[in-house]
Amino acid sequence: MDRIRIRGGRTLRGTIPVGGAKNASLPLMAAALLTDGPLVLTNAPALDDVRTMARLLEQHGLAVEHDTRTRQISLSGAATSLEAPYDLVRKMRASVLVLGPLLARYGEARVSLPGGCAIGTRPVDLHLRGLEQMGARINLDGGYIGATVSGRLKGARIHFPQVSVGATENLLMAAALAEGTTELLNAAREPEIGDLAACLIAMGARIEGVGTDRLLVHGVDSLHGATHPVIPDRIEAGTYACAAAITGGEVLLEGAKLAHLGACARVLAEAGVELDEVPQGLRVRRVDGLRGVDIMTEPFPGFATDMQAQTMTLMCVAEGASMVTETIFENRFMHVPELNRMGARINVHGSSAIVRGVARLSGAPVMATDLRASFSLVLAGLAAAGDTVVNRVYHLDRGYEGVEAKLAGVGADIERLRD
């Protein structure tokens, strides 16, 4: 298993290119099941999760071409298999996003239940309940979701009791090909939902209310191919903003968009990080010392749970205390013991963590536990005195492209140790 070694203490300066969003690419790729296509996605990132989704769609019978040089993914063809097998779904929960499109287009799907993951139980009940409201019959058997519908899915009024990004995406795709109008209430408003809606509209879907929590989808009989650019990855941008901030540097995040950061932008500003939108992207600069800020994760435009671990690392070396409250996932503090091993002072009480800022972290061997937690340890390593070795880097490779190259390009002392 690869590891990453970082010698801390370098100030980061320069330009970091921000790639296409992982969390936008996965549902966009699943949307290819709604048409014979071709659906061409430009600005697609070369990430392990994207490769897993490509494999899943190939397994369903689609032709997938991923040109990592031009950053283009082309998906075409009809599904020949309606089953998403366990060995692929267990690798990546977002695989469940094939359920809505398969059911809407082919009237049938069998998708392995994704099960739990390191950051929490993460059920899919909201996806299933919504599809049932649209006329699907759902049967859970042998670890699989069996779904069928006689005729087409029917438009329905679906009120989510809780905001879910994945359920909103699954139902948006299903509703695009349903008979009649579907109303999605308390829908997620993440920029990735807007991106999926824009792509579906380019494919011929009729969707109103994009960017709001009430999406109105007038089903159409068929969708056609389209070419769609993937939005920049706001989590990658926010993560590198933290890297610039924790090293006291100045970095241009090429292609990043301020509006996509939601409350993260305000939190960073309160912590003493300057963010300026410029034509090429986002300029990030720390002027003075970092200040502690209280954070609570919420659905967009609130503070993103996917930025919680990285921001907590910033708070570890900020002046004063910060309270970090996680409201989306129940077990998303696995980075805390590792950060404490590097000299951080963090206490967890239920879903909140109190972070007392220290002057300096010290390098140590640490273990990555999930995707975003991995980067929080890289950030700690950038700021720490001495060497940090992050183990289990495969988590990082799921969602960050070219971490060492991007960080070394702005002056970090970082290398991958291959086994």
Q: Footprint of ligand UD1 on this chain (CB under 6 A)? A: 23, 26, 93-94, 120, 122-127, 162, 164-167, 192, 305-306, 328-329
108-112/144-148 β-pairing: antiparallel
Please name which of 4, 5, 56 lies closest in space to residue 26, comparing C-alpha atoms.
56
CB of 299 to ligand UD1, least distance (A): 7
Give the residue with the Cβ less far from ligand UD1, 240 or 363: 240
Residue with tokens 């061409």: 40
Q: Helix 234-246 to helix 263-270 angle, to the nearest 10 degrees?
A: 0
Please name which of 302, 292, 211, 298 lies closest in space to residue 265, comparing C-alpha atoms.
302
Q: Taking the C-alpha atoms of 182, 184, 190 and 192 in order, what is their torsion angle to the nearest 10 degrees?
A: -20
Q: How many CB atoms lie within 10 A of CB 140?
A: 11
Residue with tokens 């966009």: 28
What is the chain's length?
A: 419
CB of 190 to ligand UD1, least distance (A): 6
Give the residue with the Cβ less far from ligand UD1, 162 or 347: 162
Tell me which residue has its CB nearest to ligand UD1. Answer: 166
Q: Helix 234-246 to helix 371-383 angle, to the nearest 10 degrees?
A: 20
Please name which of 96, 104, 110, 97 lies closest in space to residue 141, comparing C-alpha atoms.
110
CB of 305 to ligand UD1, least distance (A): 5
Q: How far apart are CA 364 and CA 108, in angstroms?
A: 51
Give the residue with the Cβ less far from ligand UD1, 48 or 192: 192
Q: How far apart are CA 20 and CA 231, in angstroms?
A: 6
Task: Report whether the peptide linkage leading into residue 299 is cis, meaning its omega lies within 30 degrees of zero.
Answer: no
CB of 51 to ligand UD1, least distance (A): 14
Locate 40 and state its tokens: 């061409």
Please name which of 301, 332, 338 lies closest in space to residue 316, comparing C-alpha atoms.
338
Q: How far is CA 81 from CA 59, 62, 97, 103, 147, in A?
A: 7, 9, 15, 12, 14
Q: How far apart are CA 342 and CA 345, in angstroms?
A: 9
Give the residue with the Cβ less far from ligand UD1, 101 or 272: 101
CB of 417 to ligand UD1, least distance (A): 27
Give the residue with the Cβ less far from ligand UD1, 36 or 236: 236
CB of 283 to ligand UD1, least distance (A): 26
Give the residue with the Cβ less far from ligand UD1, 236 or 250: 236
CB of 360 to ligand UD1, least distance (A): 30
Task: Report whether the peptide linkage leading into residue 27 is cis, meaning its omega lies within 30 degrees of zero.
Answer: no
CB of 53 to ligand UD1, least distance (A): 10
Residue 117 is among the residues annotated as catalytic for this protein? yes
365-367/387-391 β-pairing: parallel
Give the residue with the Cβ less far from ligand UD1, 31 or 342: 31
Give the residue with the Cβ less far from ligand UD1, 10 or 228: 228
Q: What is the CA radius of gyration of the chain?
A: 21
Q: 184-213 as b/e, with b when 16 or more CB fall inside 10 Å?
A: bebbbbbbbbbbbbbbbbebbbebebbeeb
Which residues are known to be catalytic?
117
